[in-house]
Amino acid sequence: MKILVAVKRVIDYNVQIRVKADNSGIETDNVKMSMNPPDENAVEEAIKLKTSGVVSEVVVVSIGLEKSQDTIRSAMAMGADRGILVKTDQMLDPLAVAKTLKAIVEKENPDMVLLGKQAIDYDCNQTGQMLSALLDWPQGCFVSRLGVKDQTITISREIDEGLEELEIQLPAVVTCDLRLNEPRFASLPNIMKAKKKPLDIISIDNLSVDTNSRVKYIKVEEPPVRKGGAMVADAKELIQKLKYEAKVI
């Protein structure tokens, strides 16, 4: 079995986000970048399946600038076998990303595609679902437990009422929740080994994919500054403020 894992290079989750002066987007110059956290869970799950003997090869793919090679190398240091970078200078919307991944899937012919449930930069939560529709494959979203047996996978996912258990036939698209596992830290020897693992670079122009954006970002603004709280002497004063000032009761 072969698994294709899609990963994205995003601003590190520990970095304070800054909006560009012209409000056209988020400032990324001289900012620490790293792998999207839910994508790390997807990589970890693929490696666990390989370690258990269920999977024979784990291929990592990323779409973006040449610097995205670092993200792919990080995944290979965790244990992935090889990487593919689809090089583009464009900022692609989820549909264009899904179409690009579809082209890679048709070339690689994996049995399963793993992705993070969403990226922490634009929080779209759309790529996995769109890829499933384009491939006409079954999908499992926000997966917090994954099991594989023959050509069937069993998944558990959180819903409003509790946990939903599903059984899906392969090939399939699965998006991973942060609760699925705890991603491992890459050891120094594995980081060195990752530098020698194969990484193919493909220009997005060679995939004949329609990357025209259907989304237009008009303006990006920081959230308004939150007002400070106020202390109240007792429950009576609290009720008065909620009723006459906040007008919520």
Q: Is the pLDDT of residue 138 over 90?
A: yes
Class of 2-245 in CATH: alpha beta
Q: How many CA atoms lie within 13 A of 32 on its CB side?
A: 5
Among 62-76, 86-100, 189-203, 227-241, the range scoring the smallest mean pLDDT is 227-241
The pLDDT value given to residue 18? 87
Give per-residue pLDDT as tens, 193-242.
999 999 999 999 999 899 888 888 888 888 888 888 888 899 999 999 89
The pLDDT value given to residue 213? 85
Q: With pLDDT > 90 as the criterion, what percentage of the chain qualifies? A: 71
The pLDDT value given to residue 85? 96
Sequence ranges of the domains in the chain: 2-245
The pLDDT value given to residue 17? 86
Q: Is the pLDDT of residue 78 over 90?
A: yes
Mean pLDDT of the chain: 92
Structure tokens at 209: 């994919």
Structure tokens at 77: 């240091």
Q: Is the pLDDT of residue 246 over 90?
A: no
Q: How far is CA 197 from CA 71, 81, 118, 172, 238, in A?
A: 13, 7, 27, 26, 63
Q: pLDDT-based confidence at 144, cuts 50/70/90?
A: very high
Q: In the predicted model, what is the mean pLDDT of residues 166-172?
A: 94
Among 39-43, 164-168, 220-224, the range scoring the smallest mean pLDDT is 220-224
Q: pLDDT-based confidence at 155, cuts 50/70/90?
A: very high
pTM, entire model: 0.85
Q: With pLDDT > 70 as the criterion, what percentage of the chain qualifies? A: 100
Q: Is the pLDDT of residue 80 over 90?
A: yes
